[in-house]
Structure formats: C-alpha cells, structure tokens
Structure 1
Amino acid sequence: MKHTITRKEVLNGADFLIDVVAPGVAKRFVPGNFCVLITIPNGERIPMSIQKAEGDTISLFFKKLGKTSFELDMKKVGDEIYKIIGPMGSPPPIKKYGTVVFASDLVCGHAENWAMCDILRKIPGNHIISIQSFPTSADVYPDKELCEPVADEFILATEDGSRGVKGHYLDVLEKLLKERKIDQVFAGGGIPPLQKISELTKKYNVPVYTTVRQIMVDATGMCGSCRVFIDGEQKLACIDGPMFDGHKVDWEAAISRLTMFKSKEAVAMDCLNEKMKGVK
C-alpha cells in the first residue's frame, strides 16, 4: 500500500497538516483512536492524532519537534510515508452526554478536538462547546482548520489576548463551569494543563476524559514505555488509552515519564542536523 501525501498545509510556524492515503485506517477510525507513522524504512514509530477520515484519506496534525517530525516535514505532496499503522487505542464511549466541552491547547489536542466534536455533535441530545487556546494570534490556525464548523459553540482564546478571549482554555472552562451546567469535559494537549483541568473539573464534580500522551516506542503494548497509572493500576496508553478518566490519573508519574528519552532525542536531532549539512 502506498501512503501518498495528497495535501500539506502550514497551520502556524511549527504546526502542519497533511492528508495521506491510508484506507485501512480511514475505514475503521473512531475518534479517540490514533495511528503510528514510520516515515522511512527502519525509522522511528511515532504516534499521531487523527483529525478526520474521509474516503481513503486521513488528516493528521503534527509539530516539528523531534527528528522524525522534521523528516516528515521534509516530505511534500506526492511523496510517500513508508508505513501507517492503525487505528490504535481504545476510544471513550461515543454517546449522548448532554452539554460537552472539548478543550485543547497543542497540536495533538486540536486534532482530537475536531474529531470528537464532529462525532458527538451528530448524536441527538448533545450540545458541543469547543475551546481552542493558543499563545498568540500568530499561533492560531487558519479558520478552516479551527473547530468552529463542528461545534455548536466555539471559543477561541489566546494567552496574550491578541485574538479571541484572553487566557488559556483553563480560564475559559472555569468561567463556563461557574455559569453553566456542563455534563462532560474532554481535553487534549499539554500534560501539565491536563493535570490542572482534572483538578478543576473534580472541584465542580464534572467528569473529564484527558488524552494522556506518553512516549511510545512500539505502540503495540510490548515495550511498556507508555504506562500510565489509573487509580493505582498500571495501564498502557497505546492499548487502554490514550483517553483516560482524568480524575484517576497519577499525574505526577505521567509528567515525570515525559523526560525518559530526552538525551536520546537530543542525539537523534544532532545526527539529523549533521546529515542535513550541505543539503539544500
């Protein structure tokens, strides 16, 4: 199977969108699933959030952050990705909740925000509120890639107030929780804010699903590197998640595990930079 890139868009200075042919993933995708990309033979396996699936194509958001994402950004429309594996993970229940908020602040969370809002909005009895927050107006995605089309209410926030509401999604959500009855919250993006949103929703006795994004080596449950502790019980984000009840997550353990491979990631980037010297 040729996984050909059919579209590539710049979302902001560091975030990008690609559409890629992956019929096996597209046909079975349920929001809450993710896929794994291998950009080149013998390359690293990286988990990717799926924004949507249409026909034989899936849409992916990614940030230029490490070696493999830089390699992915070097690809252009018409190029191929070596392997795409999925869909993977265990989605949360897709059902009637009532008034639902999905909040996100980073590229992976923004993709999940779109996917979950889109499917939950189609279920009678759900009212969907999407909150997307960015540091500044320069970081905000193009309008067509924001979640407004798939939500009943859409709130855009920037931390410096340069566009939309001033603040982080945590500020917007707390105001909503004070003023309205919210039945369910979903959240994706940076891990530290997810810990805070779990504490915030617990204060208001509102359930929350959070995407606990841990480092995955094989993403099939064999390596154990993405283990998460839920109510003291070990789970694997690649199989049991990545969305978990935020009130039950051991956040301190989750945050500490994010630094496990920092030194190896730095070496990999140094190798890529050395390889790219003189390449135009």
Structure 2
Amino acid sequence: MSQATNRIDQLFADRSKKRFIPFLTIGDPSIELSFALVKEIIAAGADAIELGVPYSDPLADGPTIQRASQRALAGQVSIRDVIMLVSRLRQAGVEAPLILFTYVNPVLQYGLERFFADLAANGADGVIIPDLPIEENEEAVRIAKEHDLHVISLVAPTSDSRIAKIGQKAEGFLYCVSSLGVTGTRSSLRGDLDQFLGKVRESTNAPIAVGFGISTPEQVKDVATYADAVIVGSAIVQEIERNLPLLKAEESLQEGIGNVKTFVQNLASALQ
C-alpha cells in the first residue's frame, strides 16, 4: 500500500463530504462481538473506525472507556488480537480505513518495527497514540512511513506556536481534542471551539477531525461545520455497555447489535 493509496488519504481526497469516525473498544465484550459490531457500524454510515486496544492505564480515557477496557482485559484481549481482527475484517470485505488507538507502552513492548510491520501486513492504515507527543514520535513516524502508515497526531487547545508545530507535522488527519481532560460524553462543547479549530486549520494542510465529548446528533452536526470529520467514542461505548445484557445472550444478540447500529446511524445521519 503506497501513501497515494493509504485508505485514510483516499477517504479525505474529497473534502467536500464530512466524515464520521466512530471508536469502539475491541474485545468489549468479546472479539467475536467486536467483529460483528464493526461490520454493522460501517453499514450504519461510518467512514473509518478507530479500534481501541484495551489497556490497564488509559490516561486519555474517561470512566466509560476505562470500564470497557477492563471488560476486554478480563477476556485476555491483547494488542496482537486487535491487529488480527483487522486482518479478519479485511478478509470479510471491509474497505473502510481502520486505525488502532493505543498507548505507547503496549507498542514498545510489542516492538516498534514489528508493530508497524504487522499493522501493514494485516491491512491497518494508521495508529493514534495519545501519550506519544510529537517531540518523541520521530522514530515511530519514520518506521510507519516505511510501511505507508500514518501516525495520527492529537492537538488540544494550547499555545498558537504549539498548534502550529503539531499542524505542520500532521499526516493522515489531525485529531483535534474538543475539550481538555479525558474522553467522555458532555452536555455542551467549548464556546471557543470554532476559534481553536480556526487556528488549527491555519496551521495545517491535513484534514481535521474533532473528538472528545461529542455524543449527540446535534453536536455532530455543529462540529462538522468547522471540521472535515467528527469522532465519537464514549457515547458509542456507553451504548454497547447499555446493551451488554442483550449482547451476551444468544437469543437477544441481534437485538443488541441492532440497537448499537441504530444509535450509530442516528449520529452518522447528522452529517447528511
């Protein structure tokens, strides 16, 4: 896969259309259910998917995703399992960009070279590592580029000079954090979000995607006026959690999956 054909680049080649990027914690409540949910979420209108690698100390994540991580870890789900899920999704005909969301410790334990080689070999398009700042990501970016993968940078409200520094180096898309603190649903977003995103837009040629705290179709629609893509995580993970009793019982499994799919459809349709 060359840079010209990295699925993230293909997705954003046409900036006239707003994109919807959901996140889910893989292995919550099982790898098999994650496989089924990813396929249904794409059918519901997702343009790309963030695949959350369960981790015991997820610094950027609020209580909802922490609980999902704990459930997945109880099932022994590892970073390797998430990479192999990418392979299964590709074999099942999934064409959407698939982006791992993980932390630096599991990546270093796996081995940087091996990590990016395995991501590429199994059909992933990139990775988000929230605790790997741009000052420390040169080696990861270099190895990723050798495999035509993107290391997606995050930018939060900060000094203009730092926004410019992150924006200049951004590739794939730039993940803009809509609110300071950890992930989680919020009843309202920052009043100065448009000013922050204006500064980000001036700093980069990369598409900008906004996440953290977005949980309703109204918020999706509002944020999309300033961004190329909208990311929703905790609200979807929360919907999965709400449906766990259904998802864990064979006779109600399809109902549970259907509820999650409808929830995602409502969010994605706000971009139409």
TM bin, normalised by shorter chain, reads 0.3 to 0.5
> Which is richer in helix?
2
Quick one: higher RCO (CA 8 Å, sep 6+), 1 or 2?
2
Structure exhibiting the larger radius of gyration computed from Cα positions: 1
> Which is richer in strand?
1
